[in-house]
Amino acid sequence: MVGLMEKKTHSNAQRAVQELRRLIFSGELAAGSDHLETELADRLGMSRTPVREAALLLESQGLLEMRPRKGVRILPVSSGDMREIYDVLTELESLAAERAAAAGYSNAELAALNTAISDMDAAIAAEDLEAWAEADDRFHAELVRLGGNSRVEMIVAMMSDQVRRAKASTLFIRPLPLQSNEDHRAVYQAILSGDPETARRIHRAHRQQAREILTGLLEKHRLKNL
């Protein structure tokens, strides 16, 4: 044990989860690639035990698959998968929008939502797709939080993780989402004015359109797996 300062804020298993997620999202562990438990353990500087526990968790979240003797496989996301995921996101986010509108939030409580919309406007003006994607994520995450259903939050986060990898690959071929922010504003307005039906309807249409654009792009560009 060297005398360097050790951070012990997290257990090794937790660090393994964080690190594996990072490696997956960054593409350092490519979709479809296989990795032995021992290899990952060496790479993360710990024994197989916490790595295995982390892999089990990530498997339950659909990011990878543990196949005996063949190693941990980073799951690819097909365009078919993306359709499934967007369908789930559409339903659950629409519910969140409806409930957020019914909750009667004050202007102040909707500040984060508003900020995200402004940031998207700014990003569009600057033609900064990266910044736009970040703010868009923020908008959707905040919307779901306002919906007040912890299970919806968890599921949406899980599905969003699976989308995240595809986003990085498709961002460059996407058009600037000009229409998108009008929808966001309309949803925001519906929530602020306490109109659940409108919030649900608009957000639902918004998500369905996003789904068509994304899956259309994926299939057009033959990006079957990401």
DSSP assignment of 20-51: HHHHHHHTSS-TT-EE-HHHHHHHHTS-HHHH
Among 2, 68, 106, 107, binds DNA (CB under 7 A): 68
Considering only residues 169 to 188 of the shown chain, the ones binding its own copies according to CB under 8 A are none
Least Cβ distance, residue 224 to its own copies (angstroms): 17
Considering only residues 118 to 177 of the shown chain, the ones binding its own copies according to CB under 8 A are 149-152, 155, 159
Least Cβ distance, residue 52 to its own copies (angstroms): 8
Opening angle at CA 11, ends 9 and 12, nearest 5: 125
Q: How far is CA 143 from the centre of its chain?
A: 13
Nearer to its own copies, 68 or 175 (CB): 68
Among 24, 29, 75, 95, binds its own copies (CB under 8 A): 95
Between the alpha carbon of residue 4 and those of residues 7, 13, 54, the distances in Å are 10, 21, 26
Q: Is 46 a binder of DNA (CB under 7 A)? A: yes
Residues 123, 135: contact at Cβ < 8 Å? yes
Between the alpha carbon of residue 152 and those of residues 65, 72, 101, 195, 225, the distances in Å are 24, 28, 16, 20, 27
Q: Is 48 a binder of DNA (CB under 7 A)? A: yes
Stretch that binds DNA, among 45-53, 119-127, 165-173, 194-202 (CB under 7 A): 45-53
Q: How far apart are CA 156 and CA 89, in angstroms?
A: 6
Least Cβ distance, residue 94 to its own copies (angstroms): 7
Q: Is 154 a binder of DNA (CB under 7 A)? A: no
Matching residue, tokens 């998968």: 81
Site string for DNA, 70-89 (x = CB under 7 A): xxx-----------------
Q: How many residues bind DNA (CB under 7 A)?
A: 22
Nearer to its own copies, 7 or 151 (CB): 151
- Report the side by side order of strands in the sheet with 34-35: 34-35, 71-74, 64-67
Q: Is 61 a binder of its own copies (CB under 8 A)? A: yes
Give the footprint of its own copies on this chain (CB under 8 A). 52-53, 56-57, 60-62, 84-85, 87-88, 91-92, 94-95, 99, 149-152, 155, 159
